[in-house]
Structure 1
Amino acid sequence: MQSWHAAYAIARDTPAPLPAEPTPTAGAVGRVAAAPARARSAVPAFDTAAMDGYAIAGPGPWTLSGRILAGPAAGGPALAAGTAVEIATGAVVPAGAEAVLPYECAHRRGQTVTGAVGPRDHIRRAGADVPAGDLVVPAGRVVTATGAAAALQAGVEQLWTVRPPSVTLLVTGDEVVTAGPPGPGQVRDVFTGLVEAVGSRAGGHVRDARHVPDRPDRLRTCLDAATTDVVVVTGASSAGAADHLHTVLGTRDATWHVCGVACRPGHPQGLATLPDGRWVVSLPGNPYAGLVAALTLLEPLLRALAGRPAELLRMPVTGTARLVPDGVRIAPARHDGTILPGTGSGSLHVAASADVLVVLPSAWTSGAEADVLVVP
C-alpha cells in the first residue's frame, strides 16, 4: 500500500503527455500548446485609425478630398500637405497622414476642416502591438479563449496541441441504477457526473460511460472493448465476493503502479497500465471514497497526459478530525481551511458543502498547513 503523497506523485509524474496534433486555433481552447506559435502577420497589419475623424497632412486648415471607411480597400492616394480625408475607426490610414483629428476636436465648414492637433496622433501603427514573428502562444500553456483570439488576430490559424486524453467509465455493481430514484437495495450512479467533471477540469473527456453488472466476464469484455487512453472502474476494487477487477487485470497482464493507498477514506484505490499502454484507474464504490480517489489518482493522471502541470495547494487548516495512524485523513473543509464535521465514505452530503478536501497526516494539529484538493 502506497502512502498518499507517493500515490499522488506516481499518478502525476509517471505518464508522459500524449502526442501532439495540429488543431484549428479556434478549436484549441482548453488544450495545451505543444509547440510555440509566432505571429504570421503584424498587429495591426497596417496603419489604422484609432478614432473617427479626419486623417490630416501638414498644417491646417485642411481641404477634404474624400472618405475612407473600414474594410478591405486600401487607404487611397497619399495625402498632400494641407489636405484631409474623413476616416472611420479601423480604416487604413493613407500614406502621408500625420494624425487623425477626432470629430470632437475638429470643426468642419463645407470642405474645410480646422482644429488643434493634440499630443496623440490617434493612429495605431502597423506592428505596434505585435510585430510579425513575435511569440503569441508559448509551449506548455493552456490555450484560453482570449489567447486563441489573439493568435487568430496575428494570423495563426493552426496550433500544435497535446491530444486530450479520452476516458471510458465503467460503473460496476448490480445495485447501481443509472436513472430515476433508487428502490430498495439499489443506489443511484453518482460517478458519471463526478468523473466527467474531474476529467473536463484536468483536460480530458469521457467518451463512453456504461453500467457493468457484477460479473467478471462482463467486466473483462467491457475492459477489452474500451479504446480510450484511460479506463476508470468504480467499485469492484476491494476484496469482496463481487470485486473482480484485480482478477480481471491479472488475466490481462496489467502492471500495478498503485495498489491501495494509506488514506481514509479511499484506501482501496489503484492505478495500473495494460500491455497496450492504456491506463486503468480503480475508484472505490463508496461515493465519498470514490471522490477522494478521483482527486488522488485520476485528476493528476489526466493532467499529466494532457500536458498540464499538477501542483498541490497548501493552506492552514483548523478544526478537529479523526487522524489515521501511518496514513492520512482526507476531510472536507471550507475555503478558509475550516474542517466540516460529520462525513463518511458513503455520503457526499458534507463534501457537497465543501470547497476543498484537506489531506491531514497523522501528526497534523489544528492551525498547521496541509495539502488541499479542490472539490469539483
Structure 2
Amino acid sequence: MSLLPVDDALRAILSHVSPVSTETVPLADAVGRVLAAPIVARHDQPPFDASAMDGYAMRAEDVADGTWLELIGTSQAGAGFTGALGPGQAVRIFTGAPVPDGADTVIMQEEAVREGERVRFTAPARLGHSVRPRGNDFAVGQVLLAAGTRLTPMQIAVAAAANADRLAVARRPRVALVATGDELVLPGSSLGPDQIVASNSFGLGAMLAPYAEAIADHGIIADDAGLLHDRLAAALDAEPDVLITTGGASVGEHDLVQDVLTTLGVKLDFWRINMRPGKPLMFGTRGKTLVFGLPGNPVSAMVTALVFIKPALRAFLGHGEPAHWRLPLAAPTPLNTARRHFMRARLIHSETGPMAEPISQTDSGHTSSLAAAGLLIVQPEHDPGQAAGALVEALPIDAF
C-alpha cells in the first residue's frame, strides 16, 4: 500500500469536519474563544470630540502671545461643559472630557498661565491639537473583529469598548484520549525493568486544551484485544467530537487498535502517511466522531497532532489556518528522503533577524529535542538539502 501524501491526508481529514456550531457566552468568559459572528460597532468611539490631555479648550484663532482669554467653565470626564464657547473664551478641560461646542483646540496645562478666571498661553495653538474627533477609534457600522478571530485580551477590550456584553463564539469540540501499550505506566510510578513512562496523553492534552471544551483522558489500555474492545467502545459511545489513540497504529503483531476500531464501526480513510516522523497515522470516522490513531513514539505522536489534529480543531472553530513562516537557515539541512520531513528546529535571533536552526536529532522517541524546538522545518520530499541562509518553510510549534 502506497503512502498517502501529507496534503492529501489533511484535505481528507478536513472534509469530515462538521460546520461551525455557535453558542453565546458572557464577555468575561470569552477570552481564548473564537468568534462565530463579527463584532460591528453600534456607536461612535469616542461618542463626542474628546480632549486627549488636561489643559484648556479654546478657538485656535484666539490664541496670541500675551493675549488673555476669559475662563467660563470646566469640562471633565462624565460632566461636560453644557454651554457654547465664544470668541475670546476658554474652558478648563480634563483628559477624556467632551470638547465644548465652539472650541477646536486643546493646549496642555503646562503651557498655560492662569490668573483667577483668565488664562494665557506660552506656546502657539495648533488647530485641532489634542482633540480626539468623534469616531476617531471606530464608527457606527465598522467591523471591529471578524468571524474566526480568536479573542485575546486586546480583542476582549475592543469588544467591551463596543458595548458588547455577550459574544457569539464557536462551540469547542470534545476530545477523548486513549494510550495503548503493555509497557506504559503513569508518571510518578515506580518503573519496572520493561516499562516506559506514558507521556503522549499528557502532551496531547496540553497541546489541544486551548481548542477543546473538554478533554477526557481514558487512561492506558493494555495490548489485549478484549480489553481494547471494551474500553474503546466506551470511549466511542460517549460520542466525542474527536477520539485520539496513541500506540498500536501500525500493523505489527501487537498493534491491535486498527482491527478493534474497525470492529467497533470506525470507517478508516487511511493509515499510512508519507512523512517523518509519524508514518503510521490512522484516520477514520464513526458517526460525527473523528478518530485519529497516532503512533506510540512520543515525537511522532506530537508532530502528527501538530500537522493534522490542530488544523482539524481550528476548522471546528472556524479559525483560519495560519500561514507557515519563511525563515533563513542558521545552519544547513541534510539531504531528505522520499518522505516529507518535519524537522525539529530552534528559533534563534541573530543580528539580521530571526532564523531557524536545525536540530540534528531525528529519533521519534527523543522527547528532549522536541522540547528544545520552537519550530518544525517543513523539508519537502527529495529535498537535496539547503545551505545556511536559504529560506525555508517553518511551522511554529506553539502557535494557536
CA contact (8 A) 1:12 1:303 kept: no
Q: Residue in 1 aligned with 2:163? A: 155
1:145 equivalenced with 2:156 (yes/no): no
CA contact (8 A) 2:17 2:312 kept: yes
Q: Residue in 2 aligned with 1:220? A: 232
Q: Residue in 1 aligned with 2:395? A: 373
Q: Normalising by structure 2, what TM-score? A: 0.81
- Shift in Å, 1:16: 4.2
Q: 1:96 to 1:111 in 2, by over 3 A?
A: same
CA contact (8 A) 1:42 1:126 kept: yes
> 2: distance between equivalents of 1:83 and 1:370?
64
1:306 equivalenced with 2:317 (yes/no): yes
- Shift in Å, 1:337: 4.7
Written as runs of structure 1 = structure 2, the 5 A alignment for 1:326-345 is: 327-335=339-347, 336-345=355-364
Q: Residue in 2 aligned with 1:230? A: 242
**Which of these residues, 36, 50, 53, is aligned with residue 51 of structure 1?**
53
- Shift in Å, 1:354: 2.7
> 1: distance between equivalents of 2:120 and 2:391?
68
Q: 1:4 to 1:239 in 2, by over 3 A?
A: same
Helix, strand or coil: the match of 2:315?
Answer: helix
Written as runs of structure 1 = structure 2, the 5 A alignment for 1:233-244 is: 233-240=245-252, 242-244=254-256
> 2: distance between equivalents of 1:361 and 1:127?
49
Q: Residue in 1 aligned with 2:85? A: 79
CA contact (8 A) 1:30 1:144 kept: yes
Helix, strand or coil: the match of 1:2?
Answer: coil
Q: Residue in 1 aligned with 2:281? A: 269
- The structure showing larger relative contact order (alpha-carbon pairs under 8 Å, at least 6 residues apart) is 1
> 2: distance between equivalents of 1:309 and 1:68?
46
Q: Residue in 1 aligned with 2:31? A: 29
Deviations 1:168-204 (A, max 9, x none): 2222334322231551222222123421343256x34
Q: 1:83 to 1:119 in 2, by over 3 A?
A: closer
Q: Residue in 1 aligned with 2:219? A: 211
> 2: distance between equivalents of 1:373 and 1:205?
25
Q: Normalising by structure 1, what TM-score? A: 0.86
Written as runs of structure 1 = structure 2, the 5 A alignment for 1:103-122 is: 103-115=109-121, 117-121=124-128, 122=130
AA in 2 matched with 1:340: I
Q: Residue in 1 aligned with 2:261? A: 249
CA contact (8 A) 2:249 2:281 kept: yes
Deviations 1:219-255 (A, max 9, x none): 2244235343211111132234553322332233222
Written as runs of structure 1 = structure 2, the 5 A alignment for 1:182-197 is: 182-184=190-192, 185-197=194-206
Overall identity of the aligned pairs, in %: 31
Deviations 1:117-145 (A, max 9, x none): 51143222222332212121123333332
- Shift in Å, 1:12: 4.1
For structure 1, list consecutive stretches of 5 or more residues without a partner in the other structure.
Answer: none
CA contact (8 A) 1:44 1:127 kept: yes
Count of residue correspondences: 371
AA in 1 matched with 2:204: V
Q: Give the alignment's Cα RMSD to 1 decimal.
A: 2.9
Deviations 1:304-356 (A, max 9, x none): 212123355566763325x444x334432344455422432222122223333
AA in 2 matched with 1:210: H
AA in 2 matched with 1:293: T
For structure 2, list consecutive stretches of 5 or more residues without a partner in the other structure.
Answer: 348-354
